[in-house]
Amino acid sequence: MSTQYLNRLKKQLTDCARQHYLQLPWSMSLNPMELSTLFDTLEQGAANKGILPRRITIGNKVTLFDVQEKEIITLVLTNPRDSNPENGFISCFSPLGRQLIGRMAGDVIDIKIFCRTTIFRIIRIED
């Protein structure tokens, strides 16, 4: 193989990798302890599925009330590969997804979105 061919292939692979990481549907700012805690919570939710009280885990449809805007928002918590925020499918690794994992109906969460703290009340959790 020629050096020119290998350099072109290397550039294509680098460009693909860069584009992949730029489009990741979750925050890459998770430190190892946060990631470990998130996985533990996900595993507990999977093990306790069907046991009351219901806690949010991947695959649940969640209805939230935005306290400041007085709006109801419905979303589905998904794994990162299936996330599509424009259509209401939120990654469990996104800032909002991380706050929702393990929570129950009635819980209040606050999350900083675009330099503004938004407060949500969890209204309903469905399968």
Rounded to 5°, the CA angle 110-79-18 comes to: 95
Cis peptide before 32 (omega within 30 of 0): no
**Stretch 75-81: mean pLDDT, rounded?**
91
Task: Return the structure tokens found at 87.
Answer: 């259509």
Domains and CATH numbers, the chain: 24-126 (3.10.50.30)
Note the pLDDT tens digit of each residue in 95-125: 888 899 889 999 999 988 667 788 999 999 9
Note the pLDDT tens digit of each residue in 2-19: 677 666 766 676 555 544
- Answering whether pTM is above 0.75, one says no
Contact 63, 72 (CB under 8 A): yes
Q: pLDDT at residue 22 above 70? A: no
Phi-psi label, residue 79: left if phi above 0, alpha if psi -120 to 50, beta otherwise = beta
Contact 120, 65 (CB under 8 A): yes
